[in-house]
Amino acid sequence: MALIGIDLGTTNSAVAVWTDAGPRLLANAIGENLTPSVVGLDDDNAILIGQAARNRLVTHPERTVASFKRWMGTTRETRLGRGHVFRPEELSAFVLKSLKEDAESNLGGEVREAVISVPAYFNDVQRKATLDAAGLAGLKVERLVNEPTAAALAYGLQTRKEGLFLVFDLGGGTFDVSLLDSFEGVMEVRSTAGDTFLGGDDFTRVLADALAEQHRLVLDDLPRADVARVLRACEAIKHALSTAQQTEYEILIGGKAITGRLDRARFEQASQLLLGRIRAPLERAIHDSKRRLTDIDAVVLVGGATRMPMIRSLVARLFTRLPLGQVDPDTVVALGAAVQAGLKARDAALEDVVMTDVCPFTLGTGVTQNARTRDETVVVLPIIERNSPVPISRAQTLTTINDNQRSVRVTVYQGESLRPEGNILLGELDVAVPPAPAGKESIEVRFTYDINGALETEVTVKSTGERERRIFRNASNLPQSEIEQRFAALAEIKIAPREQAANRALLARAEALYEELLAEDREHLSRLIASFEHDIGKGHEIERVRSEFAAALDKLERLTFRLI
Ligand code: AMP
């Protein structure tokens, strides 16, 4: 049975498989390699996934949701329509399920296992949420692979280049940097760093703020549909500014057309704060790798947002004279996940490739600062330092601080701060110790961090040999019983049939457009919709009917917001 590789992105997702000829992307029901990570509820209360949902973001904002990857690992719930409330894991599960079906339809058989990529900087809680999402979609995760690692795998395999390369991955919602060493078929991740709240969507937002300022508008005061339209226009302006120096636009706001012009310089000026946030993870990754900037042989740009010229020139400025790797920034992660799947399946063609990764953050335990002075201040004692190669197992011995102390509370923190409150508490466990004078009893706290980024904690009481082992599931992760319950509930929810995806996507786009047009344009469109529905009902020459309808929509769309 095939093992697939999935890039579960903030903006778009993609699925690929390892073949004799290398990794191959698998197209979705509408023939595209990228599936928007958007979920919606249609008028019959069926779930829409991908392009059809994306097309309804403006017209049905209360029934559609995007960018939910940002909430993975939180308990935030999204209400779609009246009755349906979903957690981020469930929304991600819909996307995974749809990719699973696309893979099955391409490969002609059932698919149950996947390698899924996650941002390197995803913490334990976010990784477990991703595993839960896969479980809800009926997929067993063979491996979680860090996105930059996947990108480097695909890049390394494609170019067969050796040396130290830096993967610079700016996606829709996250920024990751990794340094990888590739020599004689061994690919070794040296370090990784990132910012889980920085991505292309933030650049769209600053552009929207700049546009609003030009027209003395406050975005937050506008109706949701207007805000969505401004954001959609700014997304298009942002893309246009990746190739043109400036662009003029016309957008309908509150029923009135507003026009203006934005250029690269204004966009770049508005983006200064965001650009400033790019430096820190770069510096940290280079520092932690114990290599110097001059040791780097190539920079691989990954993620759609690296298409922005200001990002390319920032990279060029920081890494003068370094060549930029030529890969498709949108699909390289999915391809790399498929390579990882090939590695996992021990494909003969990959026999000589070995891959090692690192743990992206420090893992430690809370200890009392100074037992002798009875200073009760708790600090975090690192046990596994960030950027240590994984799998890794490390231990520290702790002693009791009070006479006749009956138990020790072992806390597990993730993060770089000395103070507990500056880190994420992954879990805690109490272990019983025999009563004895302070400092006499001791415990060994061992952390084992596996290749998927899952942490196991083992505590051994030295004097009795008693052992306690635990894999923590954070309070925001779903307990197994709830996963099973939710899995059953999701199976009950109607999902719009896959074979109708293309028609639904077009109809959603047409209806969105209908709300924006006026007078005769509107009437014209309503006739086009009726005739399209009639033609698809008849069921022949569907391809031709679809492409003619799409061309007509292209023409009409230019009337609502356009780049002039
Ligand atoms: P990803 O998560 O890698 O699919 O990246 C998606 C992000 O890349 C979104 O914020 C897109 O707006 C952005 N993006 C894609 N293409 C371009 C482009 N040509 N110019 C600027 N940004 C782009």
With bands split at pLDDT 50, 70 and 90, how would you rate the model's confidence at 298?
confident
Q: Is residue 252 part of a domain?
A: no
Q: What is the pLDDT of residues 427-458, one digit of tens each?
A: 888 999 999 998 899 999 999 988 777 788 99
Q: Is residue 312 part of a domain?
A: yes
Q: Which of 7, 8, 10, 235 to mutate to test the pocket of ligand 1 (most atoms within 8 A of CB)?
A: 10
Task: For residues 527 and 383, state if they share a domain.
Answer: no
**Is the shortest distance between the CB of 202 and ligand 1 below 6 Å?**
no
Active-site annotation holds for 201: no
For residue 152, pLDDT over 90 is answered with no
Q: Is residue 234 part of a domain?
A: no
For residue 291, pLDDT over 80 is answered with yes
Q: How far is ligand 1, taken at its centre, from the CA of residue 207, in Å?
A: 14
Task: For residues 24 and 53, state if they share a domain.
Answer: yes
Q: Is residue 463 part of a domain?
A: yes
For residue 22, pLDDT over 70 is answered with yes
Task: For residues 354 and 371, state if they share a domain.
Answer: no
**Is the shortest distance between the CB of 207 and ligand 1 below 6 Å?**
no
Q: Is residue 505 part of a domain?
A: no
Q: How far is ligand 1, taken at its centre, from the CA of residue 303, in Å?
A: 7
Task: For residues 371 and 457, state if they share a domain.
Answer: yes
Burial of 521 (0-12, 13-18, 19+ CB in 10 A): middle
pLDDT value for 394: 95
**Is the shortest distance between the CB of 84 and ligand 1 below 6 Å?**
no
The catalytically annotated residue of 42, 69, 195, 357 is 69
**Is the shortest distance between the CB of 12 and ligand 1 below 6 Å?**
yes
Active-site annotation holds for 176: no
**Is the shortest distance between the CB of 460 and ligand 1 below 6 Å?**
no
Active-site annotation holds for 69: yes
Least confident of 429-438, 512-521, 542-551: 512-521
Task: For residues 374 and 332, state if they share a domain.
Answer: no
Q: How far apart are CA 319 and CA 86, in angstroms?
A: 43
| CA-34 nearest atom, ligand 1 | 4
**Percent of the chain with pLDDT strictly greater than 90:** 53
Q: Is residue 256 part of a domain?
A: no
Overall domain count for the chain? 3
| CA-242 nearest atom, ligand 1 | 20
Task: For residues 530 and 420, state if they share a domain.
Answer: no
For residue 299, the domain's CATH number is: 3.30.420.40
List the residue whose alpha carbon is closest to atom 12 of ligand 1.
200
Q: How far is ligand 1, taken at its centre, from the CA of residue 379, in Å?
A: 41
Q: Which of 438, 457, 472 is the last residue of a domain?
A: 472
pLDDT value for 474: 55
For residue 412, pLDDT over 80 is answered with yes
Q: How far is ligand 1, taken at its centre, from the CA of residue 170, in Å?
A: 8
| CA-169 nearest atom, ligand 1 | 3
Q: Is residue 77 part of a domain?
A: yes
Structural element, H or E, at residue 482: helix 480-492
Q: How far apart are CA 382 and CA 551, in angstroms?
A: 60
With bands split at pLDDT 50, 70 and 90, how would you rate the model's confidence at 61?
confident
For residue 420, the domain's CATH number is: 2.60.34.10
The catalytically annotated residue of 7, 124, 142, 202 is 7
Task: For residues 93 and 58, state if they share a domain.
Answer: yes
Q: What is the pLDDT of residues 353-397, one digit of tens each?
A: 677 788 888 999 999 876 555 567 889 999 999 999 888 999 999
Task: For residues 69 and 176, state if they share a domain.
Answer: yes
Mean of all residue pLDDT scores within the chain: 88
The catalytically annotated residue of 42, 132, 169, 288 is 169
For residue 473, pLDDT over 70 is answered with no
Q: How far is ligand 1, taken at its centre, from the CA of residue 352, in Å?
A: 34
With bands split at pLDDT 50, 70 and 90, how would you rate the model's confidence at 513?
confident
Q: How far apart are CA 418 and CA 424, in angstroms?
A: 12
pLDDT value for 371: 54
The catalytically annotated residue of 102, 124, 147, 195 is 147
pLDDT value for 385: 93
Give CB contacts under 8 A, 24+ apart, made by 207-213: 207/234, 207/237, 207/238, 207/262, 207/267, 207/270, 208/234, 209/270, 210/262, 210/266, 210/267, 210/270, 211/237, 211/249, 211/260, 211/262
**Is the shortest distance between the CB of 271 and ligand 1 below 6 Å?**
no
Give the range of the structural domain holding residue 526, as residue numbers without chain letter. Answer: 517-561
Task: For residues 79 and 186, state if they share a domain.
Answer: yes
Task: For residues 459 and 370, state if they share a domain.
Answer: yes
Count of CB atoms situated within 10 Å of the CB of 183: 10
Q: Is residue 401 part of a domain?
A: yes
- Which residues partner with 413 through β-bridges? 364, 425
Task: For residues 177 and 281, state if they share a domain.
Answer: yes
226 vs 308, more confident: 308
Q: Which of 296, 330, 358 is the last residue of a domain?
A: 358
Count of residues in the chain = 564
Q: Report which listed range, 11-20, 420-429, 520-529, is most confident.
A: 11-20
Task: For residues 353 and 367, state if they share a domain.
Answer: no
Q: How far apart are CA 33 and CA 371, in angstroms?
A: 59
List the residue whose alpha carbon is closest to atom 18 of ligand 1.
239
Q: Which of 242, 314, 328 to mutate to test the pocket of ligand 1 (most atoms within 8 A of CB)?
A: 242
Q: Which of 324, 358, 392 is the last residue of a domain?
A: 358
Q: How far is ligand 1, taken at its centre, from the CA of residue 240, in Å?
A: 11
| CA-12 nearest atom, ligand 1 | 4
The owner of tokens 């051994």 is: 460
Q: What is the pLDDT of residues 95-134, one digit of tens each?
A: 999 999 999 999 999 999 999 999 887 888 888 899 999 9
| CA-243 nearest atom, ligand 1 | 19
Active-site annotation holds for 147: yes
- Give the type of residue at 501: A
Q: How far is CA 179 from CA 134, 176, 295, 533, in A?
A: 28, 10, 11, 52
